[in-house]
Amino acid sequence: MSIATQIINNNCLPFPKILQLEITDRCPFNCPQCYRLSLADKDADINRLKSLISYAKDRGTTQIVLNGGEPLLYKHIEELLVFLSQTNIYVNCFSSGYGLTDEIIKYLHNPFFNYCVSLNGSNKAINDLSRCGFEYAVSAMSILKSNDIPFGIHWVARHDNILDLPNLLSLLENKGATFISIGSNKLTHKREIDSPLSDDDFKELVGLIRNYFGPIKIFIENCFPELSWHLGLGLKSRFSGCGAGRTMCHITTDFRYAPCTHLHYYEEYPSIEEYWTNSHILESIRKRNVHDTSSCCNCELINNCKMCFAASNESYNNPNAGILGCKVNSIKAGD
């Protein structure tokens, strides 16, 4: 069977293109918006981690995402960065900036490495509403700029920070960031959406993005397809939208598997391949059959949208429930 046929039949790639690796459970913060159910003093086994990465790369994985906890607190982080630099695989590292040292900086001069600082506000007061460590994020940006290491920002769109976006973009211009990656607001560890976007917030966000013409590149994450649609970026591909269980999967510090970091449907399998092929949870995600009562049912984007299941408790508990609060149906383009 050809790869194209497998994609059509299974609604997923033959093997995950992206692996989200939880390399440590340690973190100095307790961010209000954090999705982690718990944190601990635990790290992934470095030898098993390297073996897994080599195995995945040989089978088609092209990108590794380093998650935590705080990835820079991984006790083998330097060894891992050296190993990754030798594999020529693309790496995205999401970090608060805590733990960024001169020892680590020297390993970041790598064209395959992408450092992304987590920041939700242009000042401490706004950032603290959802994320901790504002001073570490600002310090990290200064360190990265002074060492000529390209970097970007991961920003979550929330009711309490929408109007701050222009100020944040100005800060990023001053600090030398090259891009901002905008993510959707997801369930916290308390299984709630904290500070959700209203319809007016969403329209404001669309306008702010459209009216920005500065040097910072703005990227919309795959988990936010409704924003992409309203910005006219299109959802034409079968793999538009969230790639959980279709193009990517998540692996914990103890090497359990889940569709992504925000979906805690943990399973144990001997290998990625067996998980990807045999998991009934992944099968239910890939073959989502939205209920007739859902607002998603009659949406024009239903075939390609693939909204994030962590966008509501209903969709988290049932892949067929549709997404409550989606802005595609409530707000028409151009309004």
324 domain residue, yes or no: no
Give the structural domain span for 45.
Answer: 3-288
Q: With 60 as the cut, is the pLDDT of residue 311 above it? A: yes
Which sign does the torsion angle of CA 317, 184, 277, 11 carry?
A: positive
Interval 275-283 mean pLDDT: 95
Q: What is the mean pLDDT of the chain?
A: 89
Query: pLDDT digit string (tens) for 117-136?
Result: 999 999 999 999 999 999 99
What CA–CA distance (Å, rounded) separates 285 from 269? 18
Task: Tell me which of 60-64, 123-127, 214-218, 301-305 is least confident.
Answer: 301-305
What CA–CA distance (Å, rounded) separates 37 from 94? 18
257 domain residue, yes or no: yes
pTM score > 0.85 for this model? Answer: yes
What CA–CA distance (Å, rounded) separates 31 from 252? 20
Q: With 50 as the cut, is the pLDDT of residue 1 above it? A: no
Total number of domains constituting the chain:
1
223 domain residue, yes or no: yes
**CATH number of the domain that residue 200 is part of:** 3.20.20.70
328 domain residue, yes or no: no
143 domain residue, yes or no: yes
83 domain residue, yes or no: yes
Instruction: State the pLDDT confidence band at 99, using cuts at 50, 70 and 90.
Output: very high
76 domain residue, yes or no: yes
What CA–CA distance (Å, rounded) separates 222 from 206? 16
DSSP-derived 3-state class of residue 318? coil
- Higher pLDDT pick, 332 / 177: 177
188 domain residue, yes or no: yes
Residue indicated by tokens 């020892």: 103
Query: pLDDT digit string (tens) for 15-51?
Result: 999 999 999 999 999 999 999 877 788 999 999 999 9
pLDDT, position 4: 45
Burial class (CB in 10 A: 0-12, 13-18, 19+), 156: buried
Neighbours of 41 (CB within 10 A): 10
Interval 280-308 mean pLDDT: 74
pLDDT, position 237: 56
pLDDT, position 330: 67
Whether the Cβ atoms of residue 228 and residue 220 lie closer than 8 Å to each other:
yes
Interval 212-220 mean pLDDT: 96
Report phi then psi at 218, rounded to 5. -110, 120
Q: What percent of the chain has pLDDT over 90?
A: 71
DSSP state of 106: T
DSSP-derived 3-state class of residue 275? helix
pLDDT, position 181: 97
Query: pLDDT digit string (tens) for 242-272?
Result: 899 999 999 999 999 999 999 999 999 999 9
